[in-house]
Every structure is written in C-alpha cells, then in structure tokens.
Amino acid sequence: MSTAPLQSQYDEFKQLGLKLDMSRGKPAPEQLDLSNALMAALDGYAAHDGTDTRNYGGGVGLPEARALFGELLDVPAAQVVVDSSASLSLMHDVIVYSLLLGVPGHAPWMGAQPVTFLCPVPGYDRHFAICEQRGINMVNIPMTEDGLDMDLVERLVASDASIKGMWCVPKYSNPGGVVYSDEVVRRLAAMKTAAPDFRLMWDDAYRFHHLGDEKIGMANILDECAKAGNPDRAIVFASSSKVSWAGSGVAALAASPANIAWWTKHAGIRSIGPDKVNQLRHVRFLKNKATVEALMEQHRALLRPKFDTVLALFEEHLGSVPGVSWTRPKGGYFIDLVTPPGAAKRTIALAKEAGITLTPAGAAYPYGLDPEDSHIRIAPSFPSLDEIRQAAKGIALSLRVAISQ
C-alpha cells in the first residue's frame, strides 16, 4: 500500500480518468459467450408433442421446458410454469393479481388496507420498487448469518393480518450473500400467520450460482409448506438470466397445483403465450441439471477471480480500517461492503467523481433508506479483471477519504 497522503492517492487515482460501471449484477460478455451455442441449438421448430413453437399458445410453457425447470427446481413438472425471459415480471404479476383479484379462495389484497410486506434487509432494490410502486408498505427484517431474525418474523406475521407477504432470496442473497438454513426454511413454511392469504415470494435467482467449492443445497420450500399444512404459501421464481443470456433467457414459476391453476387463469388474460422458440432452444442447449451445473462451473471460473480480486484488495486497503467490513459470499453476484455509519453515500459520491459508478446508496433498503447509511453493493461480474483491480482500489480509497473528512 502506498505511503503517500490519502488525499493525494485519491487525486492521483482520479487523474486516471476511469469510466467503470459496477452498479448492476450483469454477466460479463465472456459469460454470455458461454451460451453462444443457443444460436445454433435449433434444427426445427417442433416441440416433442408436435407443438409449432412459432405460433401462439402454450401459456404454461412447453412440456419439455417445464420438465427441465421441474428437474432444476426439484418440483413436479405439472407444478411449473415456464414463461418468457424475466422472473421479475412473474413476481410483479403475482403481486398485481393478488392485489386486484386475490389469491385462490380469498378476497383481493387491495380491499384490506393497508397491505404490508416483510422485507429482509439488505435486499434487492427491484423487489422493493414493486412494493413501493404498488402502494404496499414495507417493514425491514434484519438478515442474520443463517437467514433472518425468525423470532421477529414469527411475531409480526402472527399478530398483524395486514402482512400479506414477504420477499425471500433464500440462497446467496442480493447483496449480502446470505443462505437460509434449513431451520429458517421450515419455520417460514410452518409459522402461523394472521393473514390466511399470506405468500412467500421465494426468489431463487441464485440457486446454481456457486462461487465456492461447496454446492450449497437447501430444504425444498414447496415440500416444507405442504408438510406444514400450508401448501399454497410459497411461490418460487427462477430464471436462466445468469445461466444463459440475461436479456434473452427463460423464466419459471413453481407453486402448488392451486396456485398454478390461479396463475394460468390470470396470466392467460395478459398474453396468448410466451416465446416458445426460445424455450425450445434453451431445452436443447441446457438439456438437464447435470449440463446446467457444468455450465455454471464455467461461469464460476470466470467470476471467482473477480470476487477474489475485490476481496484481496479490500483486505489490503481496508483490512485495518476500524468499522469497515465486507461479506465473503459463497455464491451469487454481490459483495456487501459495510462502512462506518454515515459514510456510504459519501463514498459512492467520491467513487463516482473518480469514474466508478456504484449502486446508489440506500438501494438495498425499502424506500432507498439505509438507516445507518452504511451499505455499498459491489457488483464485480461485468468489468474485466483489470478494471476490477482498479475499481476495488478506487472504492477503497474513496471510502478511506470519506471517513477521514
């Protein structure tokens, strides 16, 4: 580490005139290249039941695409719907249908004002944006090393019937990298809720996205809910966004038979059918769980050095700075850099001046309000390894300058 005064190190860094965007967890071009065989994966348009995939129809997805996601999510194919690219759209639509029409056997959420969601924090900004835009109140739930403060969750849902749902990113959460323990999964499945129409929005976005050597598994939420007598409680979301192509993948929703029937009925109003040509080429290319896992290994080989580089540079430049810490994720797309209270916004502004765009401060909290102004989401996937080296150093310098002022 340089012994020059901090401010001059930062000023010198600024002179480099960098232009780096680390604000979103986007796959890098080399990762997208891993799936270029998608372009040649089709030798015809017919699905194996004879469906012409170019035409309208098939609202629940092609049988072979449902079977593939069934295998990936460990759910019977009949309990899976495969749609077009974004799982976020499926989450959005589940919430809108629930608000406007109610979940199976229940009145619309909208009639019961207010509607509240529990939001584990730090969490995914786009989840919170859906709630904010749809007028759903959000309550922060602190995340812990093995998931959530479950005593608090159980107490809240048992006593407040306005709590209709909860966001969950059960594995390698965005941005904290938290993995729910099996006990947390079981408690969520079995807890008593004052609202009989309560839903767990189970966003399994990073199910196969390991960074470490260990392939972490997890109790099956749909099985646990069924065992606990709450079969309709969880709706599972996943996609191939960070498996194949983020902008042109396929998304899936898995749930109880009653929820699948409910979804199919309402989604049939919004579309005459998903992009089945893309589903078919994904089935041809991804094939099965073993081939998906092999592809994820290739992603890991590209991502791991970037994460390791950030972690090593943070250790070098921030290791001895009091009040600063960061996560060492075993999977997913993010590192959560924790600053002393009140320093995240300033750090992000200084990094921006030095040419590094980071996710806005507060984004990992409902309403953009990080109560301590101390979380910075680092997304190392997109820039090259060289750029990552510069960016990690620049972020560390920005943070040290921020807390010295």
Strands (E), 89-177: 116-121, 137-144, 147-148, 163-168
Asked whether position 327 contacts ligand PMP by CB under 6 A, the answer is no
Nearer residue to ligand PMP within complex by CB, 31 or 241: 241
Q: Is 273 in the site for ligand PMP (CB under 6 A)?
A: no
What dihedral angle (degrees, nearest 10) is formed by the CA atoms of 331, 334, 338, 343? 180
User: Whole-angstrom Cα distance, residue 363 to residue 64?
Assistant: 38
In 167-288, where does DSSP find H-type helix?
Answer: 182-190, 221-227, 257-270, 276-286
Contact between 176 and ligand PMP (CB under 6 A)? no
Residue whose CB is less far from ligand PMP, 205 or 225? 205
Task: Tell me the C-alpha distance between 89 and 250, whole Å.
Answer: 11
Question: What is the chain's length?
Answer: 405
The amino acid at residue 336 is D
* 86 contacts ligand PMP (rule: CB under 6 A): yes
Distance CA 146, CA 157 (A): 20
Q: Does 203 engage in binding with ligand PMP (CB under 6 A)?
A: yes
User: Within a 10 A sphere around the Cβ of 105, how many other Cβ atoms?
Assistant: 10
Closer to ligand PMP by CB, 10 or 117: give it: 117
Q: Kindly report the backbone phi and psi dihedral angles of residue 358, in degrees, each rounded to the nearest multiple of 5, phi listed first.
A: -115, 165
Residue 124 found at the interface with ligand PMP (CB under 6 A) = yes
Q: Which is nearer to ligand PMP, 96 or 321 (by Cβ)? A: 96
Q: Which of 143/399 has CB closer to ligand PMP?
A: 143
Question: In the set 79, 239, 256, 359, which binds ligand PMP (CB under 6 A)?
Answer: 239
Question: How far apart (Å, rounded) are the C-alpha atoms in residues 90 and 94?
Answer: 6
Residue 397 forms beta bridges with which residues? Answer: none
- Single-letter amino acid, residue 337: L
Site string for ligand PMP, 354-383 (x = CB under 6 A): ------------------------------
Nearest distance from C-beta of residue 112 to ligand PMP, angstroms: 27
Q: Between residues 177 and 394, which has the closer beta carbon with respect to ligand PMP?
A: 177
- Which CB atom, from 70 or from 176, has the smaller least distance to ligand PMP? 176
Report the distance separating Cα 224 and Cα 231, nearest Å.
8
**The 251-254 sheet, strands edge to edge:** 80-83, 251-254, 234-239, 199-203, 163-168, 116-121, 137-144, 147-148
87 lies in the site for ligand PMP, by CB under 6 A? yes
Based on the shown chain and the rule CB under 6 A, indicate whether residue 205 belongs to the binding site for ligand PMP. Answer: yes
Q: How far is the CB of 86 from ligand PMP (least distance, A)?
A: 3
By CB under 6 A, tell whether 32 contacts ligand PMP. Answer: no
In angstroms, what is the minimal distance from the CB of 203 to ligand PMP? 5
**Of the candidate residues 25, 70, 329, 394, the single one contacting ligand PMP (CB under 6 A):** 25
Considering only 238-246, 296-304, 340-348, 384-392, which stretch makes contact with ligand PMP by CB under 6 A? Answer: 238-246
Identify the residue among 77, 169, 179, 391 touching ligand PMP (CB under 6 A): 169
| Contact region with ligand PMP (CB under 6 A), list: 80-88, 128-136, 310-318, 321-329 | 80-88
Distances (CA, A) of 316 to 309, 388, 389: 11, 15, 12
Task: Tell me how far, at minimum, the Cβ of 287 lies from ligand PMP, in Å.
Answer: 20
Whether 197 contacts 106, CB under 8 Å: yes
Among 38, 82, 148, 251, binds ligand PMP (CB under 6 A): 251
Question: How far apart, in Å, are the Cα atoms of 314 and each of 92, 174, 319, 326?
Answer: 36, 19, 6, 8
Interface region with ligand PMP, contact rule CB under 6 A, candidates 82-90, 109-117, 308-316, 340-348: 82-90
Among 47, 75, 81, 88, binds ligand PMP (CB under 6 A): 88
Alpha-carbon distances of 339 from 9, 85, 344, rounded to whole Å: 20, 36, 6
Does 296 engage in binding with ligand PMP (CB under 6 A)?
Answer: no
Question: In the complex, which residues of this chain contact ligand PMP (CB under 6 A)?
Answer: 25, 86-88, 124, 169, 174, 203, 205, 239, 241, 246, 251
